[in-house]
A = this chain, B = another copy of it.
Amino acid sequence: MFGARCLLRALRSCSSAPCPRHRPAARVSVRGALGVQNANGERVTVQGWIRSVRSQKEVLFLHVNDGSSLESLQVVADSSFDSRELAFGSSVEVQGQLVKSPSKKQNVELKAEKIEVVGNCDAKAFPFKYKERHPLEYLRQYPHLRCRTNILGSILRVRSEATAAIHSFFKDSGFVHIHTPVITSNDCEGAGELFQVEPSSKIKVPEENFFNIPVFLTVSGQLHLEVMSGAFTQVFTFGPTFRAENSQSRRHLAEFYMVEAEISFLESLQDLMQVMESLFKTTAMTVLSNCPKDVELCHKFIAPGQKDRLEHMLKNNFLIISYTEAVEILKQASQNFTFTPEWGADLHTEHEKYLVKHCGDIPVFVINYPRALKPFYMRDNEDGPQHTVAAVDLLVPGVGELFGGSLREERCHFLEQRLARLGLTEAYQWYLDLRRFGSVPHGGFGMGFERYLQCILGIDNIKDVIPFPRFTHSCLL
């Protein structure tokens, strides 16, 4: 299957004249076969899993899928093939000729000359049934098999495309990719919800601690990225992050992916928000253009109306309001909130939802938060009695907080004061060094990748947009 592009090229070059019979059939992916224009009897071999079997008087129709696309390839065989062997879920290798299909449903079909069952599938024991559409909750019980369904197949292909699009976005913009560490001895935000790492009890290490100090799973690569933006100006990372939150919510996982960027010589939230909005939109456009059918499946069957909602987000400029304005809007709302909105208090999910709705379901940046709410590294706005920092969150329809970012405090004496007050001066000497030696104004952000997928596809539960979800009480496989 490897080198499908070469094979396809070979296939195209032979499609002007029918290949001689003795020529070995080229192995081609389902996507490759479906992409052949003006099929003219090209001999190919296709391998995949049977998605449906329909037997008529003298003809047998199979749909074969290999995960290269949502669409399956229709295989047409005469009734001499034993349809009992060709069960839903079985793996097959089909040799035959690619021909123009008489049906309007597809351009191409494969006229089978030889069908070999590679691996049987016991339909009775197989948890998914032919022609049945299983709820996502049901599929979640089978993390080792659910990727074989149309819906999880589409979601995970979109995830793969979005991953590639994000890498391209940053590379094309001149960012250097950095693998920030997973195991770390600093806890970034002083948050308590950390996983601790220790050698398994089976191991004998002379010292008590493998690393001599307590270490944790990273909650953010930001501080490490700041190190790197001091050398490469523009850097990004895209990796796993962890929170030991005791939450079963549809927006939280214990292990999730973050896209984080850090940019030196950046002096305003405006410039930062431009990168955030551009990342959001460019990635979505790339995904829509590269796997339209996969996106369509989600929009059609899982989240009706989501197509329009996404278009609405993509064609409008994201809005910007200050935290202070946000609180005013919430105070004037006719809605009764569980948490009374008040300047100085965190925005809760109910508030985020209201704000996005208030903004006409357009993503909205909320900027300049109370200093007391935010971590030590955010840049002081020095704005008098209310005292805010240059922080920014992006709220989006359906999901709430999608991005968080800020300008970082690059002024050594400001940072020293804040660290001293927190009793962290000694631990963060290295971080202060970044300000002692050629400090520059800079800022950055993090985007929750799973939430991003939820937002563009309209998937309600975060557990359905990651291959193997990890959350409280669940770590299957």
The digit string for A216-256, where 1 denotes a CB below 8 A from any CB of B, is: 11000001100110111110000110101010000000110
Contacts of A205 in B (CB 8 A): 244, 246, 472
The segment from A159-167, A330-338, A346-354 that touches chain B is A159-167
Alpha-carbon distance A57/B144, docked complex (angstroms):
73
Given A91-B439, A167-B164, A174-B4, are A467 and B119 also a contact pair (CB < 8 Å)?
no
* Interface: A397 (CB within 8 A): no
A255:B147 contact, CB within 8 angstroms: no
Q: How far is the CA of A440 from the CA of B119 in the complex (A)?
A: 6
| Residues of B contacting A210 in the complex (Cβ-Cβ under 8 angstroms) | 195, 244, 246, 254, 472-473
A179 touching B144 by the CB < 8 A rule?
no
Q: A67-B232, A119-B439, A167-B164 are in contact. Are A477 and B144 (CB under 8 A)?
A: no
Which residues 134-155 of A sit at the B interface, judged by CB distance below 8 A?
143-145, 147-148, 152-153
When distances are taken between beta carbons in the complex, the residues of chain B under 8 Å from A118 are 265, 438-441
Question: Judging by beta carbons under 8 Å apart, are B178 and A467 in contact?
Answer: yes
Given A119-B439, A183-B475, A467-B179, check contact A4 B164 (CB 8 Å). Answer: no
A474 CB contact (under 8 Å) in B196, B211, B430: B211
* Choice from B66, B200, B232, B475 contacting A185 with Cβ under 8 Å: B475
Whether A422 is near chain B, meaning CB under 8 Å from some CB there, is no
Asked if A375 is at the interface of the complex by the 8 Å CB criterion, the answer is: no
Q: Any chain B CB within 8 A of the CB of A274? A: yes
Q: In the complex, which residues 264-315 of chain A have their Cβ closer than 8 Å to any Cβ of chain B?
A: 264-266, 271, 274-275
Flag A81-109 by CB within 8 Å of B: 1 or 0 each.
00000000111010000000000000000
In whole angstroms, how far apart are the Cα atoms of A194 and B450 in the complex? 27
Partner of A437, one of B29, B122, B274: B122
Asked if B1 contacts A230 (CB within 8 A), the reply is no
CB distance from A217 to the nearest CB of B (A): 7
* Separation of A125 and B378 alpha carbons in the complex (Å): 26
Closest 3 CB pairs of A and B: A67-B232, A119-B439, A147-B231
- Find chain B residues with CB under 8 A from A164 CB: 167, 171, 177
Cross-chain contact A174 with B470 (CB below 8 angstroms) = no
Q: What is the oligomeric copy number?
A: 2
Contacts A195-B198, A197-B196; A255 near B148 (Cβ below 8 A): no
Q: Which residues of A contact B (CB under 8 A)?
A: 1-5, 29, 31, 47-50, 66-68, 89-91, 93, 118-122, 125-126, 143-145, 147-148, 152-153, 156-157, 159-160, 163-164, 167, 171-174, 176-186, 192-203, 205-207, 210-217, 223-224, 227-228, 230-234, 239-240, 242, 244, 246, 254-255, 257, 263-266, 271, 274-275, 410, 430-431, 433-441, 466-468, 470, 472-477
Q: Which residues of B contact A466 (CB under 8 A)?
A: 179
Interface contact B67-A231, CB-CB below 8 Å:
yes
Complex interface: chain B residues within 8 A of A214 (CB): 200
CA distance A174 to B240 in the complex (A): 24
CA distance A234 to B206 in the complex (A): 43
Which chain B positions have C-beta within 8 A of A49? 438
Judging by beta carbons under 8 Å apart, are B200 and A254 in contact? no
Closest to A173 in B: B2
With a cutoff of 8 Å between Cβ atoms, the chain B residues found around residue A436 in the complex are 121-122, 125
| A147/B230 contact (C-beta < 8 A), A164-B177, A192-B202, A240-B182 known | yes
CB–CB B234/A174 < 8 A: no
Give the shortest distance, in Å, between A272 (CB) and chain B (any CB): 9
Known: A205-B246, A233-B47. A180 touches B467 (CB 8 A): yes
Given the known inter-chain contacts A176-B160, A430-B477, please indicate yes or no for A195 contacting B200, CB distance below 8 A. Answer: yes
Residues of B within 8 A of A231 (CB): 67, 147-148, 152-153, 156
Which residues of B have CB within 8 Å of A160? 176-178
Q: Kindly list chain B residues whose C-beta atoms are within 8 Å of the C-beta of A476.
A: 185
Closest B residue, CB atoms, query A32: B174
Nearest Cβ on chain B to A432's Cβ, whole angstroms:
10
Q: Is the CB of A438 within 8 A of B157?
A: no
Are B477 and A1 in touch, CB under 8 angstroms? no
Q: Which residues of B contact A275 (CB under 8 A)?
A: 2
**Bound CA–CA A246/B436 (angstroms):** 36
- Chain B neighbourhood of A143, CB < 8 A: 227, 430
